């Protein structure tokens, strides 16, 4: 798991650098040299998709995604808090599984239709594959969080 997270972090750093360079070149060429860089949006498509979906997977791994959980403020019992957190993770896992399935269908559709971007002819299954990759990783991390939470609940009820 640690190696996978390290790969994700590397992809995030490289994607961030590529997006930054692309935006810098766009601004420099367009507003300073009055030249339009053909198809830069298409070239930035993959790093932007990777940044978004691998970033979401990384947030899922760290369990640092945004949540509006006010229940923890009102509950005193750690057991109840753990059960509610596990329930929330079950819902998250269910949503990730469903969207992973839909992303798989979308990727298959992309392969069968053979679409590509208009300028550079980048096959659309490439960015669509990053969507699936991101949701598969989120599913994996949600499952591992649920496993950990179930073990914590079992440990709490033994005491």
In this model, does residue 71 exceed pLDDT 80? no
For residues 150 and 143, what is the distance between their CA atoms, to the nearest angstrom?
A: 11
pLDDT of residue 7: 97
Q: What is the mean pLDDT of residues 110-114?
A: 91
Q: How confident is the model at residue 68 (pLDDT cuts 50, 70, 90)?
A: low
Give the side-chain half-sphere CA count within 13 A for 53: 23
Q: Are 55 and 12 in contact (CB under 8 A)?
A: yes
Q: What is the b/e burial string over 86-115, where b = at least 16 CB atoms within 10 angstroms of the residue's CB? A: bebbeebbeebbebbeebeebbeebeeeee
Q: Which of 103, 87, 86 is nearest to 138 (CA)?
A: 103
> Among 19-33, 72-86, 104-118, where is mean pLDDT lowest?
72-86
Q: Are 54 and 15 in contact (CB under 8 A)?
A: yes
The percentage of residues in the chain with a pLDDT greater than 70, rounded to a whole number, is 96
Number of domains in the chain: 1
Mean pLDDT of the chain: 91
Q: How confident is the model at residue 36 (pLDDT cuts 50, 70, 90)?
A: confident
In this model, does residue 56 exceed pLDDT 80? yes
- Note down the domain range covering 109: 2-158
The percentage of residues in the chain with a pLDDT greater than 90, rounded to a whole number, is 66
Q: What is the mean pLDDT of residues 76-99?
A: 91
In this model, does residue 119 exceed pLDDT 80? yes
The string of DSSP letters for 13-67 reads HHHHHHHHHHHHHHHIIIIIS----TTHHHHTHHHHHHHHHHHHHHHHHHT-S--
């Amino acid at each position: 798991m640690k190696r996978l997270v390290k790969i994700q972090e590397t992809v995030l750093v490289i994607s961030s650098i590529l997006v930054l360079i692309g935006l810098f070149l766009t601004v420099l060429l367009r507003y300073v040299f009055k030249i339009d860089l053909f198809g830069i949006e298409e070239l930035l498509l993959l790093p932007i998709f990777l940044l978004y979906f691998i970033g979401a997977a990384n947030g899922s791994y760290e369990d640092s995604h945004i949540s509006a959980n006010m229940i923890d403020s009102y509950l005193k019992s750690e057991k109840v808090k753990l059960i509610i957190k596990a329930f929330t993770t079950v819902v998250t896992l269910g949503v990730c599984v469903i969207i992973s399935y839909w992303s798989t269908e979308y990727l298959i559709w992309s392969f069968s239709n053979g679409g590509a971007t208009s300028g550079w002819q980048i096959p659309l299954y490439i960015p669509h594959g990053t969507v699936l990759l991101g949701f598969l990783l989120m599913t994996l991390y949600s499952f591992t969080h649920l496993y950990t939470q179930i073990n914590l609940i079992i440990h709490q009820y033994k005491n």
